[in-house]
Amino acid sequence: MQATITTVSQRIYGFFSWLIFISVIIPTICLLAVIPGQLNRRVIAKKAAALIFFVTGVTPRVIGYENLPDEGSVVVANHASYLDGIILTAVLPPRFTFVIKREMSRIPFASFLLRRIGSEFVDRARNQRNMIDARRIMYVAGTGRSLVFFPEGSIRHETGLRHFHQGAFAAAKRGNLKLVPVAIRGSRDMLPAKQVLPIRATLEVVIKPAISPESAQTSIRDLLQVCRNSILEDLNEPDTP
């Protein structure tokens, strides 16, 4: 009986969460279509993301916000759920540009929203498009802009921090930007891969001390490993490279 009540309450919460998401995202897309200025649009997206979590009762707790540099930097975070991008949109300053897999550019409403807030799309396949995208990201990093990467690339249902791709760390090295490891906790519990209805969970974002890529002797691989180890310290998930 108790299990049935729990299942029903979870489903009610899941449908409620989707209702709130749709109720917030539709007017947000309309606003982004007409509001001038990329920074203004990012502020709107940030407030919309924060509103979704507030109304659904799962506002992310942020630990270590003071570790974010005031100047340009590269945030690298684990990727356990489709909620992760929304979570970081809600908690990070609007100056950050998200680097996102190109597959998202083919999803109509998501593509429009992401383009309007200035996200950068990258092709993960080893082809000419990938090379063009990589050069563009390197240029963006060279201008000192703040970037957000999910170096695992995609999400899986299984727990664990997986292999990191090198793009974020090469960009940080190219732009001499500090790397900021970020551990997102609870998003996999709330909405894991292959699940449609979210479950109420505690969300936490742990922002770790920044890592400088200044030393010429520090390789991209070294930076990757240091950041990955830093995230693992606070992730409460196994290392599954």
Q: Give the model's pLDDT for residue 87.
A: 98
Chain centroid to CA 205: 11
| Domain residue spans of the chain | 2-235
Q: Give the model's pLDDT for residue 95.
A: 95
Q: Give the model's pLDDT for residue 132.
A: 77
Lowest mean pLDDT of 15-19, 52-56, 70-74, 155-159, name the range: 155-159
Chain centroid to CA 165: 15
Q: Give the model's pLDDT for residue 127.
A: 59
pLDDT tens digit string along 214-241?
Answer: 765 678 999 999 999 999 999 989 999 7
- Sort strands 178-185 and 73-77 into parallel, antiparallel or unpaired: parallel
Residue 160 has pLDDT above 80, yes or no: yes
Q: Which of the listed ranges 33-47, 95-109, 154-168 does the model predict with the highest average pLDDT? A: 33-47
Please state, in angstroms and rounded to a whole number, the distance separating the CA atoms of residues 40 and 58.
25
The DSSP secondary-structure symbol of 161 reads: B
Q: Give the model's pLDDT for residue 216.
A: 52
Q: Give the model's pLDDT for residue 3.
A: 67
pLDDT tens digit string along 187-205?
Answer: 999 999 889 999 999 999 9
Q: Give the model's pLDDT for residue 134.
A: 74
* pLDDT classification of 5: cutoffs 50, 70, 90: low
pTM of the model: 0.92
Beta strands in the chain (DSSP E): 61-63, 73-77, 97-101, 120-122, 147-149, 178-185, 204-207
Domain 2-235's class?
A: alpha beta
Q: What is the percent of the chain with per-residue pLDDT over 70, rounded to a whole number?
A: 94
SS3 101: strand
